[in-house]
Chain A
């Protein structure tokens, strides 16, 4: 087997395990740390797929900023009470998700790959190419995203402010 394929299967197994740990750990902090691991593994896949810039952004933004935010909220709220298990919901939820996953896999397996996958050039996925695309074809969405982030900052401050 090719080394790339072995690497893919090892990383894929780790990703599935950490994702399952996010969902099935009863302690919220353990879930958050498993999610950090899962996000790192997804960043590895991005780098394997010739998207190094997006992979680095994934580590910086997701595994860095967003997860620190999650951990801070967990620390502030200190949810000591473990949630009760509900057998019926576990059954329904798992069956529904398995059906959805089966359908998705059935569709994905039938996907015809493009006839001639273009060989990645040296520059593909580099910051230059990303910036060229971002600041020529996607300028308007880029500006809208900045306004969205501003609104989110103001909204978070207003929502989390203590009322007097």
Chain B
């Protein structure tokens, strides 16, 4: 059987890759996709702990994380469409009206 730590390290690596995406990419859609990647890394941790503790709660929480992630993706993409219609760009550094 694969030890618990292997799963935890794998999800830490995937989470860090998602963080790289959020920090260095300058495209709203790719940033949203990196956030989905980070959410999935955390889901993997939940499922691994659920398996190794023998409790169903982790799986139920992953179910809720999926529901929230779906809502987040829908609203985020709606905002992207609205912003793109006004500015014709997907570059977040172009949106700087609130920057001092």
Query: Measuring CB to CB, which residues of chain A are less than 8 angstroms from any residue of chain B?
Result: 2, 4-5, 8, 12, 15-16, 19-20, 22-23, 28, 31-32, 35, 38-39, 42, 45-46, 48-51, 53-54, 57-58, 61-62, 65-66, 69-70, 73-74, 76-77, 79, 81, 83-84, 86, 89-90, 92-94, 96-98, 100-101, 104-105, 108-109, 111, 113-114, 117-118, 120, 124-125, 129-130, 132-134, 137-138, 141, 145, 148-149, 151-153, 155-160, 162
> How many angstroms between the C-alpha atoms of A133 and B79 in the bound complex?
35
A-B contact pairs, 15 of them (CB 8 A): A23-B24, A23-B30, A32-B33, A38-B37, A45-B44, A46-B47, A54-B62, A62-B66, A79-B90, A83-B26, A94-B23, A113-B52, A148-B68, A152-B72, A160-B81
B75 touches A159 (CB 8 A): yes
Q: Kindly list chain A residues whose C-beta atoms are within 8 Å of the C-beta of B30.
A: 22-23, 28, 31
Given contacts A15-B10, A38-B40, A100-B16, contact A57 B51 (CB under 8 A): no
Pick from B5, B57, B59, B70: contact of A65, CB under 8 Å: B70
> How many angstroms between the C-alpha atoms of A66 and B84 in the bound complex?
20
Given contacts A22-B37, A118-B54, A159-B81, contact A96 B23 (CB under 8 A): yes
User: How far, in Å, is A20 (CB) from chain B's closest CB?
Assistant: 6
> How many angstroms between the C-alpha atoms of A87 and B74 in the bound complex?
32
B67 touches A109 (CB 8 A): no
> How many angstroms between the C-alpha atoms of A121 and B52 in the bound complex?
12
User: How far, in Å, is A113 (CB) from chain B's closest CB?
Assistant: 4
Query: Measuring CB to CB, which residues of chain B are less than 8 angstroms from any residue of chain A?
Result: 1-21, 23-27, 29-30, 32-34, 36-37, 40, 43-44, 47-48, 50-54, 56-57, 59-60, 62-64, 66-75, 77-82, 84-85, 89-91
State the main secondary structure of chain B at its contact with A: helix
User: How far, in Å, is B13 (CB) from chain A's closest CB?
Assistant: 6
Q: Kindly list chain A residues whose C-beta atoms are within 8 Å of the C-beta of B23.
A: 89, 92-94, 96-97
A19 touches B56 (CB 8 A): no
Count of A-B contacts judged by CB separation below 8 Å? 239
User: How far, in Å, is A158 (CB) from chain B's closest CB?
Assistant: 8
A156 touches B78 (CB 8 A): yes
